[in-house]
């Protein structure tokens, strides 16, 4: 399973770790993904999704149905 948020498509980014002596080494910045069961009122059942923490906060505010509609996804 890839490390990508299912609603926002946030994925790993690549950058450098910079030491005190200014030596640069490659580093992957992974998104903060959480597995969550969200209640869908349109489908009248729970839907399991892997969300980033920022998307999870937005889902808490708007609801999974409204957020998926805004992003252009269908939960079926």
**pLDDT tens digits along 3-56:** 999 999 999 999 999 999 999 999 999 999 999 999 999 999 999 999 999 999
In a domain, 37, yes or no: yes
Sign of the dihedral defined by the CA atoms of residues 36, 41, 43, 44, in that order:
positive
- Its domain, for residue 44, covers 32-76
Cβ–Cβ < 8 Å for 70, 62: yes
pLDDT category of residue 75 using cuts at 50, 70 and 90: confident
Measure the CA–CA gap between 45 and 20, rounded to whole angstroms.
Answer: 52
CATH number at residue 53: 2.30.170.40
In a domain, 63, yes or no: yes
In a domain, 55, yes or no: yes
Q: Provide the number of structural domains found in the chain.
A: 1
* Residue pointed to by tokens 């059942």: 45
In a domain, 7, yes or no: no
64: which residues sit within 8 A by CB, 6+ positions away? Answer: 38, 39, 40, 47, 49, 75
């Amino acid at each position: 399973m890839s490390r990508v948020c299912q609603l926002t498509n946030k994925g790993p980014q690549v950058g450098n770790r910079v030491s005190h002596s200014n030596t640069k080494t490659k580093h992957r910045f992974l998104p903060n993904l959480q597995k969550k069961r969200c209640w869908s009122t349109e489908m009248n059942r729970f839907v399991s999704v892997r969300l980033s923490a920022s998307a999870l906060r937005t889902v808490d505010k708007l609801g999974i149905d409204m957020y998926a509609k805004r992003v252009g996804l269908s939960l079926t």
